[in-house]
Structure 1
Amino acid sequence: MTGLRRVGGALVAPLVAVVAAMLITSGVVALSGSSALEFWQIILEPPASRVYVNIVNQASMIFLSALAAAVGFRMNLFNIGVEGQYRLASYVAAVVVGAAIVPGPLNILLGLVVAMATGAVWAGIAGVLRVTRGVSEVISTIMLNAIALTLVGYFLSTYGIRAGNSRRTEIIPESSRVPGFFPFEERDGAIWGLVVLALVMGIAFTFVLNRTRFGFDLRATGMSETAAVASGVKVGRMIVISMMISGAIAGLLWMPSFFGAAYSYGTAFQAGLGFTGIAVALLGRNRPLGIMFGAVLFAFLNEQSNRLTLQSDISQNVVQITQGVIVLAVVVAYEVVRRRQAAAEQRAVTRRLEAEKPTAGQEVSA
């Protein structure tokens, strides 16, 4: 019965959150002088084939971003630097792959390794500062975001190749491009070949977290550093390693798009995915399955919002309100459910103790 209550609570919380988000968003649309009914008709209209393709591609990157944030969250660390980590990692990987140091598939592998290493090192700086100087990872990662943005901007403007009014890195050779596949007609676009990275990293995250000693130590440290130290866990080392793993995953974030469509770092680079990932990680409760649904939901809302300016006078920014309310409502709903479950368990324990307590007659006969 307790298991059913837990499952019910896990299902009720996001359902309540989505309903609350729909009601609040409808109110915002109505206050702006537009039709809430028209808004939801456009958003919930079945997507076109090309939109399905875009949703899958975008969801894969959002998933990787959220997974990177989730590693920190499970360790009770707030890695808000995913944005800077994947931006710097994408640029360095683009430069290395564009140089074509090694041929064909090896160049793809080199690019992925370089991206992960760059993201890991950049995130590791925050971990080292936390362990050695007690600097909050929130502050350090925010500063590192700004530094990464400045560095990439400087190197791109100084050494980048001019393309119109902008600059980009060297276009990668055709032998280093990862082909996608076309689930619909060719004109609807291809699903990038490296979306499989999201699946691989999700499976690896689940296995390491639930089936290895490292995963146990990570979860234990996140729950209680004092208890982890008492059980022999070196907390400082765990913090640095966890931040580096988070950064390594962040480094892969833009790789599906880079190898599948962009082929260079420049105007095609998609910024902002790091902050979206933090929201999706919270929405998915830092678990791969929940994150997957959250990534698809956010990608769906983002893609469908493009219709708003074409079919109505409603601003696309309303969708951002919907996303924010969903995250906030889910956090509140889960907390309410958690407290109710804790209270129910406490009452059940109290009743059991009362039932097992010997009566006065039994005490006398004893």
Structure 2
Amino acid sequence: MNLLRGKLMPPLLAIVFSALLCSVALVISGSNPGTALSAMVSQVGHGTTAVDIVNSASVYYLAGLAVAIGFKMNLFNIGVEGQFRVAAVTAAVVGGALRLPPVLDAIVILLVAVLTGALYAAIPAVLKVTRGVNEVISTIMLNAIAMGIVAYMIRPDVFGVLHGNNISTAEIPTAGQVPGISFGSGGTVFGLVILAAAIGVGYWVMMNRSRFGFELRASGESPTAATAGGVNAKKMVLTAMLLSGGIAGLVAMPELLGRDHSYGIISPAGYGFTGIAVALLGRNHPGGVAFGALLWAFLDKSALALDNVGVPKEIVTIMQGTIVLSVVVAYEIVRRVELAAEQRRVGRELGNTGGTPPQPAVASAGGES
């Protein structure tokens, strides 16, 4: 019963609530909710849509994991957007200049992306632990600076190369590219989808099966208590931000090494902000974040399908917003219901024991936290 209420009920409530809100928005716009839903579902089996959804989801998943690590530490790393863009352009510049054997070339590019993202995240981390600067403010400012860094690095007189009307970094040679998994006319899945999945598994193991993960979660829930228990809270803040930035550095890699092979001024942006929504949808759990990434990618691809049946494609943005809102509301409702149930249970036990509070059970060191 507790599993049903605590784990399954919130997402079910969120789905029902968001479906109702989206249906109302469709009716107001003069569209038929049934027609819209049918168009959205049927599009998955056409052309390369299914593969496109998986490819986009892999990018959103990495962004969501980067944000989730910060959330676990009670940090709001809004700077994933800037971290991934600086890492992408740096890795593209290095990749375009490298001439290493296959596989090794790609590994070096990935390492450069991770290190660059971590170093860019280190700036707000150091400011927070040494000066107490709020990471929200510092990362927002660094996002703006990142745009300037990208624009500077791809100038023709710096590292940029003019391709028609587009300016981008030099193309990464074949040795540095990561081949995908071809499904013929269905499209090609990015090869780094496997890396994204592996990082998700590693994230779960780190958070749930390691002392470091326990200390990180403890520091996020109560820095004072964690410090009293021998955990260096400031060190955990710094480590969490570096890990978040390192994963953020990989966000653009599936597209860069699997499709684009260069980074330019018109390269996709906004993934960092999408990662915030995806992490919220997944409640910072790697499985939930994966579901949120797939759902977000599915809705993104639905815009064209809706437009084809006369439904305003802007309705997708409304859907995405209502889903995030629904998840937040649903989990808050369930939290309050669980709190009220716990209070009633304690009240009954106090009544049964004549007013003596029940003795708490001693949890084993290896128990679930």
Match of 2:216 in 1: 218
Larger Cα Rg: Structure 1 or Structure 2? Answer: 1
Structure 2 residue corresponding to 1:29, chosen from 23, 26, 31: 26
Between the aligned partners of 1:319 and 1:304, the Cα distance in structure 2 is 7
TM-score by length of 1: 0.93
- 2:41 maps to which residue? 44
Q: Secondary structure at the match of 1:286?
A: coil
One-letter amino acid matched to 1:81: G
Shift of 1:18: 1.6
CA deviation digits over 1:3-26, x for unaligned, max 9?
A: x32333321211221221122122
Q: Which amino acid aligns with 1:103?
A: P
Residue deviations 1:18-77 (CA, integer Å, cap 9, x gap): 221122122222222333332222122251251110011111111110000000000000
- The whole-number CA distance in structure 1 between the counterparts of 2:29 and 2:295 is 24
Residue type of the partner of 1:210? N
Query: Deviations 1:129-173 (Å, cap 9, x if unpaired)?
Result: 111111110000000000001110122124310111110111111
Deviation at 1:101, TM superposition (A): 4.3
1:358 positional shift: 8.6
C-alpha distance in 2 between matches for 1:72 and 1:319: 28
Match of 1:164 in 2: 164
Matches within 5 A, 1:48-67: 48-67=46-65
Q: Which one of 7, 10, 14 corresponds to residue 4 of structure 2?
A: 7
3-state DSSP class of the match of 2:170?
A: coil
Deviation at 1:228, TM superposition (A): 0.8
**Residues in 2 aligned to 1:101 and 1:85: alpha-carbon distance in whole angstroms:** 26
Conserved 8 A contact 2:192-2:258: yes
1:362 maps to what in 2?
none
Picking from 290, 293, 311, the partner of 1:292 is 290
Deviation of 1:356 after TM superposition, in Å, equals: 2.5
Matches within 5 A, 1:185-224: 186-224=184-222
- Counterpart of 2:271? 273
1:1-366 residue pairs with structure 2 within 5 A? 4-47=1-44, 48-158=46-156, 159=158, 160-183=160-183, 186-266=184-264, 269-312=267-310, 314-357=311-354
| Range moving further from structure 2, 346-355 or 64-73 | 346-355
Return structure 1 stretches of 4+ with deviation > 4 angstroms: none
Q: Is the 8 A contact 2:43 2:302 kept in 1?
A: no
- Figure out how many residues of one structure are paired with residues of the other and give that number: 353
The unaligned stretches of length 5 or more in structure 2 are 357-369
Q: SS at 1:93's partner residue?
A: helix
Bigger mean CA deviation after superposition, 277-286 or 37-46: 37-46
| TM-score normalised to structure 2 length | 0.92
Stretch moving more, 60-69 or 296-305: 296-305
Identity of aligned residues (%): 48
Unaligned runs of 5+ in 1: 360-366
Distance, in Å, in 2 between the alignment partners of 1:118 and 1:127 is 14
Question: Does the CA-based 8 Å contact 2:62-2:196 persist in structure 1?
Answer: yes
Q: Is the 8 A contact 1:262 1:268 kept in 2?
A: no
Query: Secondary structure at 1:292's aligned position in 2?
Result: helix
C-alpha separation in 2, matches of 1:290 and 1:358? 42
Once residues 302 and 194 of structure 1 are traced to their aligned partners in structure 2, the CA distance between those partners, rounded to angstroms, is 20
Contact between 1:10 and 1:334, CA under 8 Å: does it hold in 2?
A: no
Partners of 1:69 and 1:209 in 2: CA distance: 14
User: How far 1:342 sits from its partner (Å)?
Assistant: 1.6
How far, CA to CA, are the matches of 1:17 and 1:86 in structure 2?
A: 30
Instruction: Note the aligned Cα RMSD (angstroms).
Output: 1.6
Q: Which amino acid aligns with 1:34?
A: S
1:268 deviates by 6.4
Cα distance in 2 between the residues matched to 1:57 and 1:39: 23
- Taking the aligned partners of 2:265 and 2:119, their CA distance within structure 1 comes to 25
